[in-house]
Amino acid sequence: GSILPNESLELKSEVSGLVTKIHFKEGQKVTKGTLLVSLKNDQLQAQREKLKFSRKLAQETERRQKLLLNKEAISQEEYDISLTNLNTVEADIKVLEAQIAQTSIIAPFDGVLGLRQISEGAYITNSTVITNFYSIDPVKLDFSIPGKYAGEVNPGDIIYFQTEALTEQFQGEVYAIEPQIDETTRTLRLRAICSNEDGKLLPGQFARIELVMSSVDNALMVPTISVIPELNGHKVFVASAGKVASKTVRIGMRTDNSVQILEGINPQDTVITSGLLEIRDGSAISISNLTR
C-alpha cells in the first residue's frame, strides 16, 4: 500500500500580483488561518480610503434627506436617491475589502509547508504554484485486496503495517471501501487512516500491510508448496511408517505462505514439502529437517 497525506494541495493565489512578503519557512508547521504570503495592495488600500470618505459624505447626505423627508420638504423619491447612493458606496467598500483579502494568502488547514517555489518581489498569477501544502496527522493508506474477499472487510477493521524506512509497526483503521471491484486487476481498493503525531510517516512511502479479515482458532495450516492441485481438488503427501501416503484434502483460507486444511489429514501427520516431483504414493522415504 501507499501512504497519503490526509489533505494536500498546491498553494496558489486567487489573484495576480507582486509578492511583497513571504511569511513562512520551508518545512514549517502552521495552523489554519496563518498568513503565508502578502501581495502588493497599495492601490486597493487607497481606493478603499477614498470610498470611506465617500461613505461619510453619503451618510451625512442620507441623514439630512431623511430629516427633510420627515418634514415633507422633499419627496420619497429624492430621499431614495440618497439612500441608494449610500448603499452603493457600502457595497463598493465590501468589494474592495474582498479584493484586499485576496492579496493575503493564508493556510487553508493545519499542515506542513513544502519547498517554496517563489521569491519576494516575484510577480505571480493564479496559476503560479507557491509551495505544496500537506496535512500529515493523521495520514491515509491506500491498498487493495483480492476481490473475492470483498465481503470480509468492513469500515472499522484494524490494519497493521510497516514501511521500508522503519522497523516499527504501526496500526491503522479502515474507514472507506471502494464501492466496486477494479475490472482490470479484480481487486478492491480500501483506505485506512493512522495517527502520525510524531511525523515519522511520510506521504509517498510504501507500506507492507497486514489485514486480518477473519481468524480461526487452532487452524490446521500447511505450507502452500505442499498442497498439490488435482482435477477434483487438492492433495498432500504425508510420511507414514517410512513410506509416502497421498491424502486428498479440502482447503480453506490462505495466507502468503500457508493453506488451511479443513479435512483430510490430522495435526499429528508429517506433511512432505520437498522432492514432491520425485515421490509417489507408497514410495520409501526418510525424514530430515523436520519442522513444526
134-165 pLDDT per residue, tens: 999 999 999 999 998 888 899 999 999 999 88
Domain boundaries of the chain, sorted by first residue: 42-101, 133-211, 216-292
153 to 144, 147, 174, 206, 211: CA distances (angstroms): 11, 11, 9, 22, 9
* Fold match, 42-101 / 216-292: no
Judge whether 110 and 33 are in contact, CB under 8 Å: no
CA dist., res. 142 & res. 2, Å (int): 5
Could you give the CA distance from residue 36 to residue 34 in angstroms, rounded to a whole number?
Answer: 6
Average pLDDT score over residue span 22-27: 97
**Cα–Cα distance measured from residue 255 to residue 275, given in angstroms and rounded to the nearest whole number:** 23
Rounded CA separation 190/145 (Å): 8
217 or 133, greater pLDDT: 133
* H-helix or E-strand spanning residue 105: strand 104-106
What predicted TM-score, i.e. pTM, was given to this entire model?
Answer: 0.68
Residue-wise pLDDT for 46-62, tens only, equals 999 999 999 999 999 99
Residue whose cell numbers read 488600500:
45
Q: What is the pLDDT of residue 277?
A: 85
Task: Report the chain's mean pLDDT, rounded to a whole number.
Answer: 93
**CATH number among 1.20.120.140, 2.40.420.20, 1.10.150.120, 2.60.40.680, domain 216-292:** 2.40.420.20
Give the closest residue to 164 by CA, choosing from 4, 2, 7: 2
CATH of domain 133-211: 2.40.30.170
Q: For residue 292, what pLDDT band results from cuts at 50, 70 and 90?
A: low
pLDDT at 117 exceeding the cut of 70: yes
What is the CATH topology of the domain spanning 42-101? Answer: Helix Hairpins (1.10.287)
* Residue 84 grid cell: 441608494
pLDDT > 90: what percent of the chain? 80
